Amino acid sequence: MNKHEIKLVQDSFAKAAPLGEKVAEIFYQELFEIDPALKSMFKNDMKDQGKKLLSALTMIVRNLENTDVIVPAAEKLAVKHLDYGVTARHYTFVGNALLRTLKKGLGNEFTPEVREAWITAYQLLADVMRAAAYPQQRSAARG
């Protein structure tokens, strides 16, 4: 990501973050609309889950320029999510739900340029997470 894309993501997140729990609520509504079967993976309190989501997003967005922080945290999170039954295809659903959430939360401020910056950021994060969770797929792709 270049500095401009990082700034777009950070600035737009700063505008959405004050919505707090509403952002998480919208995200999970969108995610479950994309794939209703995912609802069964969430056995804990959704308010608590929403706080975890916002905490993770905040850490990632704040550290977009600091991969030494993001990469190990993302790898750890990816491996942990294997225990919940997360598959590689779920990353696409999460990315789409995130974009839909940002569109709803930011309205007209979710410009095509901001959208592209978020796509870049999420794709980088998802690639790191998939590589950590499914190293055999990465090896097979090379081999």
Question: Would the pLDDT of 142 be above 70?
Answer: no
Share the mean pLDDT of the chain. 91
E strand or H helix at 73: helix 67-82
What topology is assigned to 3-138 in CATH? Globin-like (1.10.490)
pTM listed for this prediction: 0.89
pLDDT (0 to 100) of residue 137: 66
Looking at this protein, which amino acid is placed at residue 116? E
Sign of torsion over alpha carbons 104, 106, 109, 110: negative
Hey, where are the domains in the chain?
Answer: 3-138
Q: How far is residue 80's CA from residue 58's CA, in Å, rounded to a whole number?
A: 19
Contact 63, 70 (CB under 8 A): yes
